[in-house]
């Protein structure tokens, strides 16, 4: 039985820091235990040019003490100027571009409505080896919300990889066995998986009452899809890695008649993942999932620092929320006990 585990410092390849007052509350949580992180651009207004990306990074840096390395992104839409994009990438002011289908999630109203309108941008990204990060959901109102990911793959993702076979693509926060199969079978594409999609399914959200703090997009799926995610994440497969999609919203925006989508899991994500990998007898693959695979896919230097986790005799009691002034962020909690604790 393994009771102590030391791994390379993890990377979070998909995190939402939001802006303004929330930055000071959430950035230090990622700074605690992560090295690289890819920062989402769906602010109001979204990050669409180099100047905006630099200003946002400077706001984030004010709350970093341990050396977190934020990797910035552009919000991909038809207004992106290709020359500015290339310059920003070559200057290392951005790391990738994020594609949100219009209306897919929080602050996505300026996202892509017609895929072919961005083909010129995608062609330039392919030519300059700029990664494309995709929120893979079909937002057609006729598509059932639980089928949006599969529909996007069938209708759009096959077309993207056919038109741009050398474009580096990451299908973000995958939720279905269909996405697992697609990523495994196609080259130049990887996927991130969140802690909450590994730890929870739609029964956790809906049975016995609606739990708004489990509402996220893509939405939690059936147990068989959850099991497919667990199997591939814990397998050691190099094409899959951690992106927490930690997405904070003030409790007032979650607990109302039209609650926002998003799960805030940064505080305990590594401990939850360690518990899941332990349950699957796959602790040997944890470091690959949380650190090595993402660095290899993105051609980043492997982290030299480490963290150590200790297995406790009693379950960990995590804080229920983070608070600052009038803002309260509810912290994600799985439906099983977590015994692993990061040694400070």
pLDDT at 111: 80
Read off the pLDDT of each residue in 116-139 and give the average, rounded to a whole number.
96
Q: How many CB atoms lie within 10 A of CB 57?
A: 16
Round the average pLDDT of the chain to a whole number and report it. Answer: 96
Lowest mean pLDDT among 24-28, 112-116, 240-244: 112-116
pLDDT at 291: 98
pLDDT at 137: 96
Give residue limits of the domains in the chain. 4-342
pLDDT at 25: 96
pLDDT (tens digit per residue) in 282-303: 999 999 999 999 999 999 999 9
pLDDT at 97: 98
pLDDT at 102: 83
Q: Is a pLDDT exceeding 90 seen at residue 108?
A: no
Tell me the pLDDT band of 12, cut-offs 50, 70 and 90. very high
Read off the pLDDT of each residue in 126-154 and give the average, rounded to a whole number.
97
pLDDT at 344: 80
Percentage of residues in the chain having pLDDT higher than 90: 93
pLDDT at 113: 85
Tell me the CA distances in angstroms from 277 to 10, 14, 28, 45, 312, one per residue in order: 15, 20, 26, 39, 16
pLDDT at 114: 87
Tokens of 11: 């990377």
Length in residues, the chain: 344
Read off the pLDDT of each residue in 168-185 and give the average, rounded to a whole number.
98
pLDDT at 259: 95
Read off the pLDDT of each residue in 96-107 and give the average, rounded to a whole number.
86
Label each residue of 70-127 as H, E or C.
Answer: EECEEEECCCCCHHHHHHHHHCCCCCEEEECECCCCCCCCCCECCHHHHHHHHHHHHH
Assigned CATH for 4-342? 3.20.20.140
Lowest mean pLDDT among 82-96, 106-120, 163-177, 317-331: 106-120
Q: Is a pLDDT exceeding 90 seen at residue 110?
A: no
Give yes or no for a cis peptide into 45 (omega within 30° of 0).
Answer: yes
Tell me the pLDDT band of 4, cut-offs 50, 70 and 90. very high
> DSSP letters of 275-341?
HHHHHTT-GGGHHIIIIIHHHHHHTPPPP--EEEEEE-SS-----SEEEETTEEEEPP--SS---EE
What span, in angstroms and rounded, lies between the C-alpha atoms of 71 and 77? 19
Tokens of 226: 């959850």
Read off the pLDDT of each residue in 144-149 and give the average, rounded to a whole number.
97
pLDDT at 231: 98
On whether the CB atoms of residues 189 and 161 are closer than 8 A, the answer is yes
Is 31 one of the catalytic residues? no
Tokens of 96: 């990738």
Read off the pLDDT of each residue in 142-154 and give the average, rounded to a whole number.
97
Tell me the pLDDT band of 157, cut-offs 50, 70 and 90. very high
Read off the pLDDT of each residue in 158-163 and give the average, rounded to a whole number.
96
What span, in angstroms and rounded, lies between the C-alpha atoms of 129 and 146? 33
pLDDT (tens digit per residue) in 40-78: 999 999 999 999 999 999 999 999 999 999 999 999 999
pLDDT at 103: 77
pLDDT at 3: 95
Q: Is a pLDDT exceeding 80 seen at residue 104?
A: no
Among residues 12, 31, 138, 245, the one annotated as catalytic is 245
> b/e for 262-297, b at 16 or more Cβ within 10 A?
bbbbbbbbbbbbbbbbbeeebbebbbbbbbbbbbeb
């Amino acid at each position: 039985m393994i009771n102590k585990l030391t791994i390379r410092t993890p990377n979070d390849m998909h995190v939402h820091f939001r802006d303004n007052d929330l930055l000071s509350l959430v950035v230090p949580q990622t700074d605690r235990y992560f090295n690289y992180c890819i920062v989402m651009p769906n602010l109001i207004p979204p990050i669409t040019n180099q100047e905006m990306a630099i200003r946002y990074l400077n706001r984030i840096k004010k709350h970093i003490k341990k050396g977190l390395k934020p990797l910035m992104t552009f919000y991909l839409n038809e207004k992106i100027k290709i020359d500015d994009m290339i310059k920003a990438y070559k200057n290392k002011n951005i790391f990738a571009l994020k594609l949100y289908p219009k209306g897919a999630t929080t602050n996505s109203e300026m996202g892509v409505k017609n895929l072919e309108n961005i083909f010129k941008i995608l062609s330039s990204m392919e030519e300059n080896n700029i990664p494309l990060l995709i929120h893979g959901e079909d937002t057609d109102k006729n598509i059932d919300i639980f089928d949006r990911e599969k529909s996007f793959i069938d209708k759009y993702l096959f077309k993207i990889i056919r038109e741009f076979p050398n474009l580096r693509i990451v299908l973000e926060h995958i939720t279905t066995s269909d996405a697992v199969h697609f990523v495994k079978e196609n080259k130049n594409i990887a996927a991130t998986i969140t802690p909450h999609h590994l730890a929870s399914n739609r029964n956790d959200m809906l049975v016995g009452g609606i739990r708004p703090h489990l509402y996220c997009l893509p939405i939690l799926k059936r147990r068989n899809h959850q099991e497919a995610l667990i199997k591939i994440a814990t397998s050691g497969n190099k094409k899959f890695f951690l992106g927490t999609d930690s997405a904070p919203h003030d409790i007032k925006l979650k607990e109302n008649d039209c609650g926002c989508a998003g799960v805030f899991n940064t505080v305990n994500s590594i401990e939850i993942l360690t518990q899941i990998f332990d349950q699957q007898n796959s602790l040997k693959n944890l470091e690959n999932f949380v650190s090595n695979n993402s660095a290899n896919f993105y051609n980043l230097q492997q982290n030299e620092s480490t963290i150590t986790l200790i297995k406790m005799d009693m379950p960990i009691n995590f804080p229920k929320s983070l608070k600052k002034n009038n803002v309260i962020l509810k912290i994600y909690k799985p439906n099983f006990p977590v015994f692993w604790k990061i040694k400070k």
